Amino acid sequence: MHELGIMTGVIDSVKTAALDVGATRLLKVTLSVGEMTEAVDTALQFAFEALCDDDPFTKGAELEVNMIRPKSRCLECGAVYEHDRFSMFCPECDGFVTELIAGREMQIDSIEVDLPDDTEE
Ligand SMILES: [Zn+2]
């Protein structure tokens, strides 16, 4: 499953970042995911829960996914337009020489963690 691979990578980097700041538990992760990655929101949620469940550090954490519509720029006429995964032709001039400028992202927007109240060390 495509999403399981994506999520394994996401959780790895999130955990590293959380441990770096001394967090005791991961609470929430917010992701931006471009539709061109072909990742599916519900499958990402499913993979996230399955992976988080294995580890007390991440167990019960929440995932928020913002899906990003693909956007392209026409190299013939310069129009910038949103489209779906399958039709990328320019709506202005029917050009097909286009450049994808959004829709392939897979980025971690923010994470929320539990920090210990006291730092006794
Ligand atoms: Zn055009």
Q: Tokens representing 56?
A: 């007390």
Domain of 38, in residue numbers: 2-70+103-114
> Which H or E element spans position 100?
strand 98-102
**Distance (Å) from CA 107 to ligand 1 centroid:** 29
In a domain, residue 94? The reply is no
In a domain, residue 45? The reply is yes
Q: Could you read off the pLDDT of 41-86 as tens digits, one per residue?
A: 999 999 999 999 989 999 999 999 999 999 999 999 999 999 998 8
What CATH number is associated with residue 43?
3.30.2320.50
Count of structural domains, the chain? 1
In a domain, residue 81? The reply is no
In a domain, residue 76? The reply is no
pTM: 0.83
**Distance (Å) from CA 40 to ligand 1 centroid:** 29
Cα distance between residue 121 and residue 118, in whole Å: 9
Q: Tokens representing 119?
A: 């730092």
